[in-house]
Amino acid sequence: MFEDLKRKTVLITGASSGLGAGFAEIFARHGARLALAARRVEKLEALQRKLVDGGADVQVVALDVTDENSVEAAVNAVTPHIDILVNNAGVATFGRSLEISASDWDKTLDTNLRGLFLVAQAVARRMEREGTGGSIVNISSITALRASRGLAAYSASKAGASHLTKCLALDWAAHGIRVNALCPGYIETEMNAGFFETPEGLALIARTPMKKIGRISDLEGPLLLLASDAGRHITGIDLPVDGGHLVSSL
Ligand SMILES: NC(=O)c1ccc[n+]([C@@H]2O[C@H](COP(=O)([O-])OP(=O)(O)OC[C@H]3O[C@@H](n4cnc5c(N)ncnc54)[C@H](OP(=O)(O)O)[C@@H]3O)[C@@H](O)[C@H]2O)c1
C-alpha cells in the first residue's frame, strides 16, 4: 500500500510547524520526495536537515500564500515536478462574531481560502502544462461542516475551502487531477497541547463520542489514502477525521 509514493514529489504548504511538519515526516517515511513551503524558512531548513539525515530527498521553498508572486515563484521552484499538493497553510482566528475586525476577517479568508485557491491553481496549471495529473489534498476542518461558537471567520474560510474542493474536482478531473479535502477535528500539536488539559479542553474531549483528542498519526491513513494511488477513484470529497465529533449529540 502507498508504494507509488516512492516515485512522487509532494509539495506541503505550512510545513514549518504543526500538522504540516507532521505530514512531511509521514511522507518522508513512505519514501516520497518532499518540497517544504512556508514563510519561516529557518524552521523549514531545520526540518529539512532532520529528514535528510533520515535519508529523505527534501527541498525548501519560501512561500507566502497571500502573495500571488510568491505562490507562482514557489510552485515553479519545485523540482522535478509536483505529483501531490498538501494545501495545508492556514491561520486560526477566534473571537465573538460581533467583535471580529475587518483585518482579522481579511487575514483569515486571504490565507485559508484565497491563498489555498492560488496555490491549488498554480499547481494545477503546472500539472496540466506538464501533462502529469496529480492529487491535491486541501486541509479543511470539521468547522467547515458544522457551526462552532467563536469561530465564524475561520469556519467560513474552511466551508469555502471544502466547497471549492468540490468545484475544482469537477473542473480538473479531465486533466487527471483529483482534489479532496481532509477535515480534521481537534488534533493535538505542540502549540495547543496545554489546552487539552484545561477545563475547556477536557470538556471538549468529553463531548467527543470517542472521548479522545486526535493525534497527527491519526491523520496518516486518511491523508495517504487521498494523496496516493490508493485513492485513485476518489475526488471531490470531504473526509472528516474527528473521533466522531461531527456526530456528537445535539
Ligand atoms: N491543529 C488542529 O487541530 C487543526 C484541525 C483542523 C484543521 N487544521 C488545519 O490544519 C492546518 C495546519 O494547522 P496547524 O494546527 O498545524 O497550525 P500551525 O502550527 O499554526 O501551522 C500553520 C502553518 O501555516 C503556515 N502559514 C500561515 N500563514 C501562511 C502564509 N501566509 N503563507 C504560507 N504559510 C503560512 C505557517 O507557516 P509560516 O508561519 O512559517 O508561514 C505554519 O507552517 C491549517 O490549515 C488548520 O486550519 C488544524
pLDDT in the model for residue 76: 98
Count the domains in the chain. Answer: 1
Q: Residue 14: which domain range?
A: 3-239
Q: Mean pLDDT, the chain, as a whole number?
A: 97
Asked if the model's pLDDT at residue 58 lies above 80, the reply is yes
Are 159 and 217 in contact by the 8 Å Cβ rule? The answer is no
Catalytic residues, by residue number, are: 141, 154, 158
In this predicted structure, the answer to whether residue 189 has a pLDDT above a threshold of 90 is no
244 found inside a domain: no
| CATH number of the domain that residue 61 is part of | 3.40.50.720
Angle at 232 between CA 68 and CA 164, to 5 degrees: 35
The cell for 231 is 485513492
Q: Calculate how far, in angstroms, residue 111's C-alpha sits from the geometric centre of ligand 1.
A: 9
Ligand 1, atom nearest to 65 Cα: 32
The predicted pLDDT at position 249 comes to 87
- Determine whether the shortest distance from the Cβ of 71 to ligand 1 is under 6 A: no
Which amino acid is present at 42?
Answer: E
Task: Specify the range with the lowest mean pLDDT, choosing from 151-155, 163-167, 191-195.
Answer: 191-195
pLDDT, residue 26, reads 98
The CB-based long-range contact list for 20-25 (8 Å cut-off, 24+ gap) reads: 20/86, 20/88, 20/89, 21/47, 22/189, 22/216, 22/219, 23/86, 23/88, 23/216, 23/219, 23/223, 24/51, 24/58, 25/51
Asked whether residue 249 is assigned to any structural domain, the reply reads: no
Q: What is the pLDDT of residues 13-32, one digit of tens each?
A: 999 999 999 999 999 999 99
Nearest atom in ligand 1 to 20's CA: 16
Q: Is 137 in the pocket of ligand 1 (CB under 6 A)?
A: no
